[in-house]
Each structure stands twice: as structure tokens, then as C-alpha cells.
Amino acid sequence: MTNQEILELMDRFERSSLYTMKLSTGVFSLELSRGAGTSTAAAAPAAPVQTATQPAAETDEVIASPLAGVFYAAPEPGAEPYVRAGQTVSKGQTLCLIEAMKMMSEVSAPCDCVITQVLGENGALAPYGEPIFRYRPC
């Protein structure tokens, strides 16, 4: 299933009156549900795709995608990315955006830290729970 097909399914689900939807194939599983005014989506691919910008130490921690959606490293096309590998960031600083169901969600730094790897690929699908950054706390 392509990223575009997944996004189309999410969009159709959003416009429907359904409360839950589950889809499974041999290598892919997608579950969408909505509750009182909120929507969540989860997807799990067979093999994760990683785009590393720097080697990571074994002690590095990860920031996982809080929802399934499209990963954006910058606030708009052509703009500088929020963060780069090797950059020191403060707790709460925006690291990226995840777009799901036409809503943008910011992913923030959990603590003062150094980003050691940017694993998310700009414009690509970031499945729920997929590591998108590696960091070392300061």
C-alpha cells in the first residue's frame, strides 16, 4: 500500500460516519478510530525506512512518531528544517510537524538534548510509533 493510498483512506475515514476501521494485509496493518471529538490513527509497516544523518551511539534515546502521518522537517517547502543532526535543542522546542487528516501536529523535544540523528524523511509517511529522531539528553 502506498503512502498516497494510506492518506486517501485516512481522508475518507475522516469524512465518513464510521467510528473505527481496521485494515490488515500480510505485511501491513492500519487501524483508525475516533472518539468524542478526537481522531487517532495507527499504522505499522513490515519494514521501517530510516534516513540517518549521523551515526548514533548505543545510548541514544529515540523520539517516536506520536501518530501516523506525513513527516515535515520544515515549517514550509523550501524553508530551513526545524533541527539538524548535531544541533542542541531546548525542552519543548519544535522538531518537526506530522500531518494527519489535514491537521498539523508539532513534535517537541522531550528535554534539553542534542539531536544525533534525523530518521524521518521529509514528505514521507511516519507510521505511529516509528522512531523519527535519535537524541542524547544534555
Q: What is the pLDDT of residue 17?
A: 75
The CA distances from residue 128 to 22, 54, 78, 82, 83, in Å, are 15, 23, 26, 20, 21
What is the identity of the amino acid at 115? I
Mean pLDDT of all residues belonging to the chain: 81
Report yes or no on whether pTM surpasses 0.85: no
Which numeric CATH code is attached to 61-137?
A: 2.40.50.100
Residue 3's pLDDT is: 73
Phi/psi at 135 (5° precision)? -145, 160
Tens digit of each residue's pLDDT (9 = 90 or more) over 95-117: 999 999 889 999 999 999 999 99
Yes or no: say if 21 and 34 are a contact pair by the CB < 8 Å rule: no
Give the tens place of pLDDT for each residue, 45-100: 433 333 344 455 567 899 999 999 999 999 999 999 999 999 999 999 999 999 99
- Sign of dihedral through CA atoms 44, 105, 78, 137? negative
Q: Where are the domains of the chain?
A: 3-44, 61-137
3-state secondary structure of 15: helix
